[in-house]
A and B are shown apart, each in its own frame.
Chain A
Amino acid sequence: MDDYLHLLHAQEMDSVTFDRLMKEYGQEVWNYAYFMTRDYHAADDISQEVFLRVYRNFSGFRGESSVRTWLLRITRNMSLNYRKTAFVRRVFLRSDMSTDKRNRSAEEDVLDQDVCNEIWKIILGLPAPFREVLLLEIQFHYSTKETADLIGVSEGTVKSRLSRARQKVTAALKKAQEKEGLQ
């Protein structure tokens, strides 16, 4: 994280730093966007926009948070606003692509196979606030404090949201096991 402190002073984002940022955080940004939107194309578009924005406006980075949190915060806001504004862009961007690329269900099917295990599938089936805290905890290893800071709620809220999210997964797993037992 400290590696990026020089961004605080730089006038321009250099290409090496930019490549490194994408390599290091691209996947997390994509995952976060996907978990917020559950939309394959949205995640592609949002992660593109996040990095473009970072490249162009990285003077917005004030060093109050780590570069990672800063990236995730932008990702989050973009995901929340996605339906409202960015869809327009997406229609535009996709319009000149081949039609099969716009076939969402095919993409979604592929994606379904790419989800690592049942537990992640269950998590992805939960409402956004629950998916979000679980992703932040399990994949990103965020503490409740870091999560609270990122999503702008109190630590208490994060804790209760996490606990409810866990309960939901546990319940769903139990249900799935019972179903398996019956067969």
Chain B
Amino acid sequence: MREEKPDWYTSVSPEPFSRPMFTEQLSRQIKERIATPRRTFRQKAFLPLLFTAAMGFVVLFAWLGPSLFDSDRAELADTEFTGTVESLTGQAALVHVRSALAGGISDLEQVRHLMGENYLVVTQLVFTDKNDQGYGTSYIPALDGTYRYDFGIVKSYSPEKPTSSQWYDREGLLSGKMSGSLLVTVQAGELASIRLAYAGPAVAGVRFEDYPVPSIVLNDTTDVPSGEIETDPLLDAVFSIEPGKKVDAAHFPDSLRQIHMIDEKRGWAAGIGLWTTEDGGESWTKRLPNQKQLMVTILTEKSIVFFDADRALYVDRNPGYESRMPTLMVYRTEDRGVNWMKEDLPIDEDWERTAEAQLTFLNEQQGWILLSGKGEEIGKRQLYLTRDGGVSWKRLDHTGKKEGTLQGIEGTATGLVFRTEQEGYVTFSGSTDAPMLYRTEDGGKTWSRYSGLAGTEETGTYLPPQFFGEDRMRGVLALSQADGTRWLHTEDGGKTWIGDFSSILLDPSQPKWVQFVDTQAGFALDRQHQLQRTDDGGKTWMPLGITLVGESMSLHFISPEMGWISADNKLSSTKHGGYAWTPFSR
């Protein structure tokens, strides 16, 4: 039954305050504090003094306040001035504790503040020398277990200790010699639950009340590192540029994750926004699928494909301004990013909404998307196939079976590559020392571990293979190992592989940092972010004298001579095989 609202509900104003209390000034201050690192006050000598004085005042107020100003506290006990219950007895003690509990208690310090320092150990997971079931006198029970706090005990009464069948002192409660007991559970050193036992007024036996501890416990403001996070001027700049607007590479406002050039003049770049260039990278035009959209969150560099200067395709979440469930969408453009079409990926499981996506195309028609579950959903995987250039996508069904699919394979999928319509590869990293390469020969329906390549059944992590030639028979596959990299080559479409070893160290989590323009000429950023070049398929590498510095780096070569690199918002290009670079800078 819903209770009738009292008459005064009709005359209460909808807002308590007649003016905005969360003022413009306040929100400005917040933004200022975001923009500037938190001031540290330690240098100022007078502050500790002030601090001590202030704390003294607080303590004084907290202790005197209630008794001075709150005379009928038994009725109006308030969470603010809890204080300990120690001096109270009878119903007043119970009222005090219940009000404090009802107001919300979220950590052990608050329990101590309310109950005082004496508690009984009911159970304790880790035994210490204070486990003799006597009153603990240590500060607070920080060890995992359950603890009893008694309150409102009349003088000369000593409550019964907990037994294996009863944690509270039934007789003590019912006889009124004590007002109540609190059972406090500590897990992982944190307050987990609170249960109150007390005798009801009509003495119907002992009553219990459970007080859940608020699930988000933010018991300290210091867990936010001070001054560490500032606004990113790049971020502000890129947001302020509208789609279609052109910027100079010298003042490039975006931190680039990927450059992809099509020819000497035309190409793409992706950061928070998408960009196109028509002058070899001198200037860039911002492209976004929608004016309302601020940014592309393009899941990873692996979820975007550039076909040519006009056509690109990527997988992303649906934009935030859409008021519907999160889902995954495929965005397509055929006019250099001016206009975009988008299709929902036909996902039908919840985990897919937040999955990571990898996108690959064999040709302009046929492509695949691999979704990988993240977090608790790790190991879940699902493939989608298109045969019409990304317009429509079909879920590849593996009818719930795990055997012969990519389901449950441990590790992170680092690459998805198809050599033919039937033959494809997925590389994994992270779970074991054994190299994890999976292969399908039926277009992705079934997969099996592909091992024993060129007799290298060793340790390491594969980077996704690259295939060359009209027939895509020739290919390069890198196996990153602890002391170097094994370079495997095939001439027969992956049936046989021949390996070479070089000492270059790669970062297998960054497959885009290795790029071969043909089977012999390749470029790589090594683990030290040094750019290196090979002309013999990986057997020997030559450092090019450039080390990239930044949060995100990328490289792209369209020929053994011509290439581009980026580190954050800085871009450079070479026409000399990487031996000489021209930065696009002021």
Contacts and interface: CB of A to CB of B under 8 A. Distances in A.
Interface string B1-13: 0010110110111
Contact of A115 (B16, B99, B222, B320): B16
Contacts of B216: 60, 73-74, 77
B29 interface: yes
Given A116-B16, A153-B211, A8 B236 contact: no
Contacts of A89: 221
Contacts, number: 213
Contacts of A30: 21-22, 26
Give chain A's interface secondary structure class: helix
A60 B216 CA distance: 10
B220 A85 contact: yes
A182 interface: no
Contact of B17 (A51, A88, A114, A129): A114
Contacts of A8: 326, 354
Contact of B294 (A14, A35, A95): A14
Given A129-B102, A152-B215, A27 B22 contact: yes
B41 A95 contact: yes
Give chain B's interface secondary structure class: loop
Contact of B224 (A29, A53, A153): A53
B142 interface: no
B317 A56 contact: no
A81 B106 CA distance: 8
B302 to A, nearest CB: 16
Interface string B482-499: 000000000000000000
Contacts of B27: 19, 22-23, 26, 51
Contacts of B232: 12
Interface in B49-95: 50-51, 54-55, 58, 62, 76-80
Interface residues of B, number: 78
Contacts of B58: 83, 87
Contacts of B236: 15
B545 interface: no
A46 B62 CA distance: 20
Interface residues of A, number: 83
Nearest to B62: A83
B323 A2 contact: yes
B115 to A, nearest CB: 15
A129 B8 contact: no
A51 B22 CA distance: 12
B239 interface: yes
Q: Which of B13, B18, B50, B221 has the most CB of A within 10 A?
A: B221
Interface of B: 3, 5-6, 8-9, 11-22, 26-27, 29-30, 33-34, 41, 47, 50-51, 54-55, 58, 62, 76-80, 99, 102-107, 109-110, 113, 211-222, 224, 229, 231-232, 235-236, 239, 294-295, 297, 317, 319-326, 354
Interface of A: 2-12, 14-17, 19, 22-23, 26-27, 29-31, 34-35, 37-38, 43-44, 47-49, 51-53, 55-57, 60, 73-74, 76-78, 80-81, 83-89, 91-92, 95, 114-117, 119-120, 123-124, 126-129, 135, 138-139, 151-153, 157, 159, 161-163, 166, 169-170, 173
